[in-house]
Structure 1
């Protein structure tokens, strides 16, 4: 850890150290200050390592950090919702791991982190903490002789499916991020790095004066998007495996930083199937678990990366449970609303562009007019697809709602997870006679919406799913 911590702190120390060297003119004194900064990082790492201890006492995990004052954190084992083990590159080289404990009580932050335990100790603690969290009364026997975890593989994602990565769009902007960082560095440190900032401006003006070269650079960046996006996607999702182990769903992934996330099966309330427009054309989807008390669910709750749709539905059904009903269509007025919202804004811009083009005759306004008319035309299939994506349903066990087009999401939630209903209606929805029905869920995002349902559907659907809540309000007493 005396090696890992200073190296991990290096990015945050890099700019201050470079600043010290430049301000000091690369003199012996500036080198001494830079060396002092490095030594300070090592001292901080030593203090972190020397003052931190952890111990399992009875039915609690206790962590201590003490130097001038003592800080003690006690976590009851029964509150533990998940234990994640990750192995960043330097940890892996040195045979170490990072163990994070989540109790679902601190938002997206972990409750405790054991940084620098051995791989064997991390696996031992993970198995012990998860079993003790599920059965605290058996903690004493398991501490003495922990039984081996029962493990069942659900799916091991083939590496050829990593080629679907660019379709998700998650890392497509990586080339532009690199270029943006390089440009920012040039303007910030141009003088110190040997060229004036005026030279950067001159280079930009020269590119602007040569539009074909600028177009070629932009084209190269666009062509690099799927390559770099696919590469980053493969690094993060390499050898993705989903397992069932001792009452937990365990997702393992990663090439450089290998990560293992455990989700307690008893706290899984459903799943969400997501696909973008390009993914839908290719027939692939991603899957997230809907879990109670899970921090950072967008990252920790992922069950599958991009996989074929049929495989995703089968795995979700095997791991959590199937949804066995068709989604119900929303009223035709919802289609008109989708079309209006997809087309009308562009028509307004096109009208303004046409007026400006007629008044000025400038080529720019004619180009903008053609572009906005083209986007308005594209809005028609987009609006129709958004309407086709709307739906809600109930199969007697699970509730499902779906919406979106550029990012379509279908949530499948166990009926027992629904804790309330909310009806929301904007002024425009009131005029159209539709509203948004939100199923309140004590897991995941907290609520999942059926958008633009009819008033009859908004009344009948909650009564169908949770009749015991609504019957007392809908049934008249016999004497009335």
Structure 2
């Protein structure tokens, strides 16, 4: 850790070091101050290492920090939602790992983080924590059941700590511990689907933009000179064909660089079922293992974009109660064929066995208007500019007519086809979106409430947005532009007891 912490602090120390060395003119005093900065980082790492301890005491874990002020964090084992193990590059070289404990209290690292334990200790702690949590909950359930049945309290014995007893506890209630099962191991050839997701496609432009910004902001400190950066920009401005070539090269590099970045993050992706947890492992440089407690999984979300739909591939996330950072921790599958995603989610969580119901025709008109209006505004702006510059009017009118029809209409129709909602008696599902289409499948027991919303434009069209409140995932899933009948009938179908007091039979008198 005396090596890892200073190296990790280098991005924050880079600018001060550059300023000290370049501004000081590489004199003896500048080297002294640079050395003091590096030594200070090592001393800071030493103090952090000495003043950090952790311990499992009975039914809780204690993490003690006393760098400046003493901080003792206590994590009850029954609050543990999952344990993640990651191995960043420098940690992997030194045989270390980072263990994070998720309690559902927040999405930050301060829930419980052990940075710099050995890989063997991280795996032992992960197995010990997860199995001790299962045993504690099973014993608590047994004690509660026995107490309610006999009328006398039942006290469970203490759970052993450390060693083999912690890593391999006795099976709860005499039941054998289920074996580990690999749900799916994603073949490496499926990594070729990565650029279709679009998440990493703009990496070349981001790198180029970062380099340009660094040259303009810190050109003088880096010895290049800010004036030289401006001169290079003016030189390219005088040669627009070179700028066009550079942009084309970046566009050509998009799928290759995006594919490489996707492969780095999702290399050797495996989804396993271990002792009541869904465990997802992935990563080439930083190998990460994320555990999701199966009993807290309430559904899943299948996402695809335009390019992914053409290729027949999707991505999947789990909808889990009390999960921090669900956008990354909840990932069930990277980009895989749709058939595989449906089979995996159905086997690991449960299938959705009903067809989605279409939304009313007025929803199609709204989708078309919202898709055409932006293109129409762009074309009108181009028309005004063309008239001002003297372009032929027939050419402008042709572009004005074809651009909204060729771009907006297909997008609007696809957005309407994507709308849908349904219920199969056990799970409900809602779907929407086009450029990013998302279908959420949620168990009935996860629904905690309903919200019916109507904007001013929806009131004019007579449609509603129906939101199923769920104590997991995003907190609510939207069925957009449903009819008045669907807005009342769908909640009544899913949760009839909740809405019975507020619904009246046709012809029945209404109370004020």
TM bucket normalised to smaller: over 0.9
* Aligned pairs (5 A) from 1:239-388: 239-361=268-390, 370=399, 373-388=402-417
Structure 2 portions without partners, runs of 5+? 140-156, 170-176
Displacement of 1:474: 1.9
**Residues 83, 99 of structure 2: 8 Å contact kept:** yes
Aligned counterparts of 2:127 and 2:414: Cα–Cα separation in 1:
46
**Residues 353, 368 of structure 1: 8 Å contact kept:** no
Aligned counterparts of 2:297 and 2:305: Cα–Cα separation in 1:
24
Aligned to 1:76: 76
Aligned counterparts of 2:394 and 2:356: Cα–Cα separation in 1:
45
Q: Per-residue CA shift, 1:139-166, capped at 9, x if unaligned?
A: 6147452328731100000000000000
* Aligned pairs (5 A) from 1:161-176: 161-176=190-205
Aligned to 2:212: 183
Distance 1:161 1:364, change over 3 A: farther
Residue 104 of structure 2 aligns to a residue whose secondary structure is coil
Aligned counterparts of 1:141 and 1:182: Cα–Cα separation in 2:
55
* Aligned pairs (5 A) from 1:326-475: 326-361=355-390, 370=399, 373-475=402-504
The one of 242, 247, 251 equivalent to 1:218 is 247
**Residues 376, 400 of structure 2: 8 Å contact kept:** no
Aligned counterparts of 2:221 and 2:380: Cα–Cα separation in 1:
50
Aligned counterparts of 2:453 and 2:416: Cα–Cα separation in 1:
19
Aligned to 1:88: 88
**Residues 353, 369 of structure 1: 8 Å contact kept:** no
Aligned counterparts of 2:397 and 2:45: Cα–Cα separation in 1:
57
Aligned counterparts of 2:76 and 2:219: Cα–Cα separation in 1:
54
Of 341-350 and 56-65, the range deviating more from structure 2: 341-350
Distance 1:118 1:359, change over 3 A: closer
Q: Per-residue CA shift, 1:202-246, capped at 9, x if unaligned?
A: 222222222222111110000001111000000000000000000
Structure 1 portions without partners, runs of 5+? none
Residue 140 of structure 1 aligns to a residue whose secondary structure is coil
Aligned to 2:8: 8
Distance 1:4 1:473, change over 3 A: same
Displacement of 1:351: 2.9
**Residues 453, 466 of structure 2: 8 Å contact kept:** yes
Displacement of 1:352: 4.0
**Residues 383, 396 of structure 2: 8 Å contact kept:** no
**Residues 354, 365 of structure 1: 8 Å contact kept:** no
Displacement of 1:392: 0.2
Aligned counterparts of 2:270 and 2:48: Cα–Cα separation in 1:
34
Displacement of 1:292: 0.4
Displacement of 1:181: 1.4
Aligned counterparts of 1:37 and 1:67: Cα–Cα separation in 2:
19
Query: Structure 1 length as normaliser, TM-score?
Result: 0.95
Of 432-441 and 342-351, the range deviating more from structure 2: 342-351
Distance 1:69 1:347, change over 3 A: closer
Aligned to 2:154: none
Aligned counterparts of 1:334 and 1:381: Cα–Cα separation in 2:
15
Aligned counterparts of 1:40 and 1:363: Cα–Cα separation in 2:
69
Displacement of 1:421: 0.4
